């Protein structure tokens, strides 16, 4: 199903790669993160080429709910506990800078950008909200507790952060991509040193940035152990109420609410890719009960890369790849995190020491229990009997009856009914292996 974004804008078309080329920087992936990296590098006077396997914005970017906020759930209280005040402050500072950069750029772009307050609510636990406010206060950032919300469900209140934003992501990338050197339908299959290989041609670059959503190159880094992918769902309701803000549940399986023009977005139903989930059923039941006069006009789903500690991986792909960088693991906050990644990587390639870079380092240590759980999920997928197996590492595929796809629970690759590749880290269609 197509999102409201893809139905309401015509993106520019770029040619596929037809020769071997050289460039200062190669960016692999033409979603929001890759395009912003290209945009930022161009502004800094650094030449960059973007290689996109399909069309720009055709992955997670076109399926986002497009919130731009530094409020990523009740994250800051967890960051303080796990990493201490300094790293929590770095995370806040980096995302605050990303929000301000969006505000600056969008002054000159027609992308339906508008300021909105952001809310994280809890159904029953006021204490966790107060803890988050205290954490933000310790970081010298103003947030407030709001006891009542314009939602049809009873809550314990919410943490409110003022002056965040929302926009039309495809209108935005249509504008920022205009002067970038982009090759569509150009899938990079392999990286060797400074050279990336497609099916027919090569791109040689001084530096390489991987923004393929889930990293799909065997360059160390252990991403297959320290990340997994989640599905979540959205319906756009016409004749729904104006909730005047962006709302998300602090619980992982909760609902989100926000408006775009005459539509109310109702989101939720999150589950690990390849596992059972309710897809849009839960959202439709909720809408029928609480918004009986509203009419569903759009329905779509998103896939998010989830890190084990809640912080994206932005920096060197691994300790052994000094000229290859990665931006991934944006959780459910891809719009803000894409800009954060672009700004951090621009600084890195310009030789600027960004004090916030440390907290996002892909080489940071992971807790053994977290890694063990994720490894077990992968092992279970490898051992599970199935006639359909993923072309990435051979894990069993599960039929997703709601979306009519074959999904891999190990690392989140997805395939169409006839075997065509939809989501990485796999790089081949099913029919290419079978």
What pLDDT, in 10s, does the model give residues 14-46? Answer: 999 999 999 999 999 999 999 999 999 999 999
Check: CATH 3.40.50.1820 for 112-165+228-307?
Answer: no
> Is the Cβ–Cβ distance between 143 and 132 less than 8 Å?
yes
434 confidence band (pLDDT: 50, 70, 90) = very low
* Digit-coded pLDDT (tens) for 74-107: 999 999 999 999 999 999 999 999 999 999 999 9
* Digit-coded pLDDT (tens) for 186-205: 999 999 999 999 999 999 99
| Per-domain boundaries in the chain | 112-165+228-307, 368-433
Distance CA 35, CA 111 (A): 15
Q: Among 3.30.390.30, 3.30.1490.20, 2.102.10.10, 3.30.1300.10, what is the CATH number of 368-433? A: 2.102.10.10
Q: C-alpha angle with apex 26: 24 to 27, nearest 5 degrees?
A: 140
pLDDT at 181 over 90: yes
Distance CA 393, CA 226 (A): 16
Q: What is the pLDDT of residue 369?
A: 64
368 confidence band (pLDDT: 50, 70, 90) = low
Phi, psi of 409 (to 5 degrees): -80, -15
- Identify any residues that bridge with 90 across adjacent strands, giving them in sequence order: none
pLDDT at 375 over 80: no
Residue 240, both tokens: 């729904």
Which residues touch 421 (CB under 8 Å, ≥6 apart)?
A: 391, 413, 414, 415, 427, 428, 429, 430
End-to-end CA distance of the chain: 27
pLDDT at 383 over 70: no
């Amino acid at each position: 199903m197509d999102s409201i974004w893809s139905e309401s804008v015509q993106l520019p078309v770029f040619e596929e790669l037809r020769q071997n080329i050289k460039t200062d920087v190669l960016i692999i992936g033409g979603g929001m993160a890759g395009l912003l990296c290209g945009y930022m590098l161009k502004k800094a006077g650094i030449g960059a080429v973007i290689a996109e396997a399909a069309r720009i914005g055709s992955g997670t970017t076109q399926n986002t709910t497009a919130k731009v906020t530094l409020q990523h759930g009740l994250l800051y209280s967890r960051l303080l506990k796990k990493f201490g005040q300094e790293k929590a402050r770095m995370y806040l500072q980096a995302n605050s800078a990303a929000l301000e950069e969006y505000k600056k750029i969008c002054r000159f772009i027609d992308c339906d950008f508008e300021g909105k307050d952001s809310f994280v609510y809890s159904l029953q636990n006021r204490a966790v909200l107060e803890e988050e406010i205290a954490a933000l206060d310790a970081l010298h950032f103003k947030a407030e507790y709001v006891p009542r919300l314009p939602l049809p469900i009873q809550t314990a209140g919410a943490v409110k952060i003022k002056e965040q934003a929302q926009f039309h992501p495809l209108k935005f990338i249509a504008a920022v991509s205009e002067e970038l050197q982009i090759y569509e339908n150009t899938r990079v299959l392999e990286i060797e040193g400074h050279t990336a290989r497609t099916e027919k041609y090569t791109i040689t670059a001084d530096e390489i940035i991987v923004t393929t959503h889930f990293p799909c190159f065997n360059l160390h880094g252990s991403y297959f152990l320290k990340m997994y992918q989640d599905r979540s769902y959205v319906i756009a309701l016409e004749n729904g109420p104006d909730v005047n803000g962006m709302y998300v549940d602090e619980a992982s399986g909760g609902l989100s609410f926000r408006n775009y023009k005459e539509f109310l977005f109702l989101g939720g139903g999150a589950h690990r890719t390849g596992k059972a989930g309710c897809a849009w059923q839960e959202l439709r039941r909720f809408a029928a009960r609480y918004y009986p006069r509203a009419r569903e006009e759009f329905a779509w789903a998103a896939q998010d890369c989830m890190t084990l500690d809640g912080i994206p991986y932005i920096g060197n792909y691994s300790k052994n790849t000094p000229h290859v960088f990665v931006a991934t693991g944006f959780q459910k906050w891809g719009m803000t995190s894409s800009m954060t990644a672009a700004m951090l990587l621009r600084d890195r390639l310009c030789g600027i020491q960004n004090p916030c870079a440390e907290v996002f380092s892909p080489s940071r240590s992971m807790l053994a229990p977290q890694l063990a759980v994720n490894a077990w999920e992968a092992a279970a997928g490898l051992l599970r009997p199935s006639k359909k197996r993923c072309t990435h590492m051979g894990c069993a595929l599960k039929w997703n009856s709601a979306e009519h796809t074959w999904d891999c629970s190990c690392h989140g690759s997805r395939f169409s009914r006839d075997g065509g590749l939809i989501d990485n880290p796999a790089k081949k269609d099913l029919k290419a292996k079978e």
